[in-house]
């Protein structure tokens, strides 16, 4: 006799009973981009439905998110003034610190995460202090600044820190900085395996963080390297990260599963701007059923091993899950 797998697929109730992977609104974290001013909500041309917002608009947006059941956000800042070291990122009156305070005051039940990096705050667009000889980021000087930045965010009331700069030793440095300042219970979600990807293009429009020279291949990962990708996350687990991450997600499903299988921590994935915009543009061209492809993509991340999905699709997906 041959196997009749279709017996379990014919009745829709049985199909649902046997569904192995389930997507929930509780899986989602929504990115928001803060800038100074009032009443600002500027749509990004390359990312339909994504906005740069003033703090008052972000506070309003959090109310919308909660109505949809989305309970977690990750914040990115766009400062008025950028300099060589990203001073605004380490200032208690900087754009992110002010946004965290405003959101937690209005929505204490919203889980607020901050992206911890310097690319949005430096005038050169790289992720830390530059080494003028090597023409790349000075790893160890940047570690000290990351620890300072983390403490500023912690004092503002953030619920979790998410360092994204791919500096060696960043989790150890941030953990020591937070613990020394009394924030021993503040979790760290590491962008532990982050690739130097072409999928980030539209993000640089919204975050205004394009490098003024070169690229980030000297500190972000080579997309060709699978074994090294696992090692990056394993080391961050050893250094004290509480949650790991693979970024981007769509072209790196194998790495998501590899990291999940080789570590014991919860795993986040970042469904990045280029992945989001591709679906939006394909829908505009009429070549895909947007809702179905979006949900299939998000389900794929979950099946690959994601516990948390950071995605610009979160609001649309939440609405569909409520139906």
Catalytic site residues? 194, 247
Token pair, residue 206, equals: 């919204």
Could you list the residues known to form a binding site, using ranges: 117, 119, 127, 204, 216, 232, 273, 312
Could you list the residues known to form a binding site for Zn(2+), using ranges: 117, 119, 127
Alpha-helix runs per DSSP H in the chain: 12-17, 55-67, 95-106, 139-156, 170-180, 201-207, 226-239, 253-262, 273-284, 290-304, 314-322
Token pair, residue 155, equals: 């004092």
Could you list the residues known to form a binding site for 5-aminolevulinate, using ranges: 204, 216, 273, 312
Separation CA 27–CA 321 (nearest Å): 12
- 42 backbone dihedrals φ, ψ, rounded to 5°: -105, 115
Q: Are 186 and 154 in contact (CB under 8 A)?
A: yes
Cβ neighbours, 10 Å, residue 3: 6
Max alpha carbon distance in the chain (Å)? 72
Q: Are 154 and 181 in contact (CB under 8 A)?
A: yes
């Amino acid at each position: 006799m041959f196997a009749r797998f279709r017996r379990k697929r014919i009745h829709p109730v049985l199909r649902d009973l046997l569904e192995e992977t389930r997507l929930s609104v509780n899986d989602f974290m929504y990115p928001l981009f803060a800038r100074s001013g009032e009443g600002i909500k500027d749509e990004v041309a390359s990312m339909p439905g994504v906005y740069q917002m003033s703090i008052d608009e972000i506070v309003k947006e959090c109310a919308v998110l909660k109505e949809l059941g989305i309970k977690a956000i990750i914040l990115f800042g766009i400062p008025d003034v950028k300099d060589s070291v990203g001073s605004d990122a380490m200032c208690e009156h900087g754009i992110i610190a002010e946004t965290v305070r405003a959101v937690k005051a209005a929505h204490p039940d919203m889980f607020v995460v901050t992206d911890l990096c310097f690319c949005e705050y430096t005038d050169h667009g790289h992720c830390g202090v530059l080494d003028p000889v090597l023409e790349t980021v000075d790893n160890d000087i940047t570690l000290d600044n990351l620890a300072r930045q983390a403490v500023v965010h912690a004092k503002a009331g953030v619920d979790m820190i998410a360092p994204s700069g791919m500096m060696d030793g960043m989790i150890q440095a941030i953990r020591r900085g937070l613990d020394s300042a009394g924030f021993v219970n503040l979790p760290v979600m590491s962008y532990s395996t982050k690739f130097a990807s072409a999928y980030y293009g539209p993000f640089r429009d919204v975050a205004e963080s394009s490098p003024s020279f070169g690229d980030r291949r000297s500190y972000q990962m080579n997309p060709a390297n699978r074994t090294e990708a696992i090692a990056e996350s394993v080391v961050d687990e050893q250094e004290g990260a509480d949650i790991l991450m693979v970024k981007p997600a769509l072209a790196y499903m194998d790495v998501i599963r590899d990291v999940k299988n080789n570590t014991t921590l919860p795993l986040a994935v970042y469904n990045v701007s280029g992945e989001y915009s591709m679906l939006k543009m394909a829908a505009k061209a009429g070549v895909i059923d947007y809702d179905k492809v979006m949900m299939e993509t998000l389900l794929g991340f979950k099946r690959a091993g994601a516990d948390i999905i950071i995605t610009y699709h979160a609001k649309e997906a939440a609405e569909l899950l409520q139906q």
